[in-house]
């Protein structure tokens, strides 16, 4: 069978896929948005946030890890799936300290943008208010663990793109947290640099560039100008980062 004849169906739309692509890969290539936080094209799939869960022939799977195969019929944008996604998003908000009105990442935060996209109006659950260490030891970066959602994008970016292996996660449940591979465990003693992908890939405000806060006015930020459902958004964000760091 040639690659040209390989197709899947998402919400009734027939789209092509190439051998080796996941459902997420094929959807993004066809300009179909599947909500996600822990996935970035070019990095290994992780399947941790579960926002990208879809129904494939009656079975729920993570679209970022599930290979696309001929004949799959996939439900993605349904009220039931979006309600589950909204609940997951609410849980992510209450598990950390995500105080959008006072956060310098407001308007540039993917978690916030997905909450708007899914119609989330409140946290629903009781707030955990965790107390996690903030690390400002680096000359160019701040690590605010209170905002970390354990997507491990920084972990994979550091290992797979930067070639440095700066980050990892440790612990379980509410005690799970991001750790730094350095003699002291501090970011300032690691070999991460301002220009590394790991320094810019965080979808929330857990990794911040010192001196960059509030440079872009409210109303001109990423999600003020673009919908989170734009499937070329990663390119837009990368271009924006390079522009402001030049």
pLDDT of amino acid 180? 98
Tell me how far apart the alpha carbons of residues 22 and 39 are, in angstroms, rounded to a whole number: 12
Query: What's the CATH class of domain 130-245?
Result: alpha beta
- The domain spans of the chain are 3-77, 130-245
Residue 174: Cβ-neighbour burial (10 angstroms; 0-12, 13-18, 19+) = exposed
Average pLDDT in the chain: 91
pLDDT level of residue 239 (50, 70, 90 thresholds): low
Structure tokens at 171: 């612990």
Tens of pLDDT, residue by residue over 177-218, are 999 999 999 999 999 999 999 999 999 999 999 998 888 898
Q: pLDDT tens digit string along 217-235?
A: 989 999 999 999 997 777 6
Q: Cα torsion at 177, 181, 184, 185 (round to 10°)?
A: -10
To the nearest 10°, the Cα dihedral for 82, 150, 137, 194? -70
Cβ contacts of 43-47, under 8 Å, gap ≥ 24: 43/153, 43/156, 43/157, 43/160, 43/161, 44/156, 44/160, 46/151, 46/152, 46/153, 46/156
CATH architecture observed for domain 3-77: Roll (3.10)
pLDDT tens digit sequence for 29-74: 999 999 999 999 999 999 999 999 999 999 999 999 999 999 999 9
Reported pTM: 0.91
Question: Based on the number of CB atoms within 10 Å of its own CB, is 22 exposed (0-12), middle (13-18) or buried (19 or more)?
Answer: buried
């Amino acid at each position: 069978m040639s690659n040209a004849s390989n197709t899947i169906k998402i919400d009734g739309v027939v789209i092509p896929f190439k051998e080796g692509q996941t459902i997420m890969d094929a959807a993004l290539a066809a300009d179909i948005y599947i909500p996600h936080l822990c996935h970035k094209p070019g990095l290994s799939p992780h399947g941790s946030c579960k926002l990208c869960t879809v129904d494939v022939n009656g079975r729920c799977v993570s679209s970022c890890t599930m290979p696309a195969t001929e004949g799959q019929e996939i439900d993605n944008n349904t009220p039931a799936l979006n309600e589950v996604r909204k609940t997951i998003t609410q849980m992510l908000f209450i598990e950390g300290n995500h105080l959008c009105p006072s956060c310098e990442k407001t308007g540039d935060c993917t978690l916030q943008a997905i909450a708007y996209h899914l119609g989330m109006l409140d946290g629903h659950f009781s707030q955990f208010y965790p107390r996690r260490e903030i690390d400002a030891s680096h000359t160019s970066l701040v690590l605010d663990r209170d905002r970390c959602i354990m997507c491990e994008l920084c972990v994979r970016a550091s290992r797979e793109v930067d070639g440095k292996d700066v980050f990892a996660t440790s612990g379980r449940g509410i005690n799970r947290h991001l750790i730094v591979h350095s003699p002291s465990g501090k970011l300032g003693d690691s070999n991460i640099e301002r220009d590394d992908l790991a320094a810019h890939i965080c979808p929330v405000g857990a990794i911040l560039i010192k001196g960059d806060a509030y440079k872009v006015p409210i109303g001109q930020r990423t999600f003020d100008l673009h919908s989170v459902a734009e499937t070329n958004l990663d390119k837009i964000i990368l271009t924006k980062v390079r522009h402001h760091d030049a």
